[in-house]
Amino acid sequence: MSIAAITSDFQPDSFAFSAENEAQIERILAKYPDERKASAVMPLLDLAQRQHDNWIPMKAIEDIASRLDMAKIRVLEVASFYTMFNLKPVGKYFLQVCGTTPCMLRGSDEVMRCIKDKLNIGSGETSEDGKFTMLEVECLGACVNAPIIQMNDDFYEDLDYETTGKLIDDLASDNVPPMGSMTGRQGSEPTGGADVLQAVKKDVGKA
């Protein structure tokens, strides 16, 4: 994250947690002894981001640093390290595309090509209408259903060029489809459906 991005004109003049989040902060801080309250930095960053249109302004960084008796740069280090935190405005639909080896072998390049074709954006960019942001990230932990996109909090799995295009079209119309496999696969069963019990049944029938 560049200094220009952090200090640019989109930064608000102030930030204050909502009353609901203040109550949540009290519950979070109660989990830690006073000398370990810096451990609450990630949940507080998450609260700030959820409250502030899915990105964290510098004023929120300063607020969190003050609450946790941390240097501002230490809070910023945490916020800038994890791709789950955004330090500049992002689209309503934040698409994190896994590009790690299992997803790449299963076609994540086609997923990213579709996003480029449909929205004319690459990694770290936002569409002209401000509705979509795409970021290529490392492993999202759903390798068995690769390739995947994490859209905001939800995983969309078993994607290819066509199903990625349909997902984007649905989101563009604010028609958010159910999360999960885009091919209808249940859990992590084999492509084509589970067949172990069918094989056992056939074996039993022969006995």
Q: Which of 48, 81, 114 is the last residue of a domain?
A: 81
Mean local confidence (pLDDT), 118-126: 95
93-119 confidence digits (pLDDT tens): 999 999 999 999 999 999 999 999 999
Q: For residues 123 and 169, state if they share a domain.
A: yes
Mean local confidence (pLDDT), 16-38: 95
The CA distance from 194 to 17, in Å, is 48
**Using 50, 70 and 90 to split pLDDT, how confident is the model at 3?**
very low
Mean local confidence (pLDDT), 20-25: 96
Q: For residues 70 and 129, state if they share a domain.
A: no
Residue 188 domain flag? no
Q: For residues 133 and 159, state if they share a domain.
A: yes
CATH number at 19 reads: 1.10.10
What pLDDT shows up at residue 1?
46
User: Can you give the residue range of the structural domain that contains 22?
Assistant: 3-81
Q: Which of 81, 112, 132 is the last residue of a domain?
A: 81
Q: For residues 41 and 101, state if they share a domain.
A: no
What pLDDT shows up at residue 131?
95
Residue 199 domain flag? no
What pLDDT shows up at residue 204?
59
SS3 34: helix
**Using 50, 70 and 90 to split pLDDT, how confident is the model at 8?**
low
Q: For residues 129 and 76, state if they share a domain.
A: no
Q: For residues 153 and 77, state if they share a domain.
A: no
Mean local confidence (pLDDT), 61-88: 95
Q: For residues 99 and 173, state if they share a domain.
A: yes
Residue 192 domain flag? no
Beta carbons within 8 Å of 49's beta carbon, 6+ residues apart: 55, 56, 85, 86
Q: For residues 129 and 174, state if they share a domain.
A: yes
What pLDDT shows up at residue 199?
60
**Using 50, 70 and 90 to split pLDDT, how confident is the model at 25?**
very high
Crossing angle of helices 41-51 and 58-67, rounded to 10°: 140
What pLDDT shows up at residue 150?
95
Mean local confidence (pLDDT), 61-87: 95
**pTM: predicted TM-score of the whole model, two decimal places:** 0.80
Count of residues making up the chain: 207
**Using 50, 70 and 90 to split pLDDT, how confident is the model at 83?**
confident
Residue 187 domain flag? no
Number of domains present in the structure of the chain: 2
144-202 confidence digits (pLDDT tens): 899 999 999 999 999 999 999 999 999 999 999 999 999 888 877 777 776 666 665 56
Q: For residues 165 and 121, state if they share a domain.
A: yes
Q: Which of 56, 81, 106 is the last residue of a domain?
A: 81
Mean pLDDT (the chain) is: 90
Query: Closest by alpha carbon to 104, among 134, 143, 162?
Result: 143
Q: For residues 134 and 72, state if they share a domain.
A: no
Tokens linked to 31: 């989990």
CATH number at 136 reads: 3.40.30.10
Residue 111 domain flag? yes
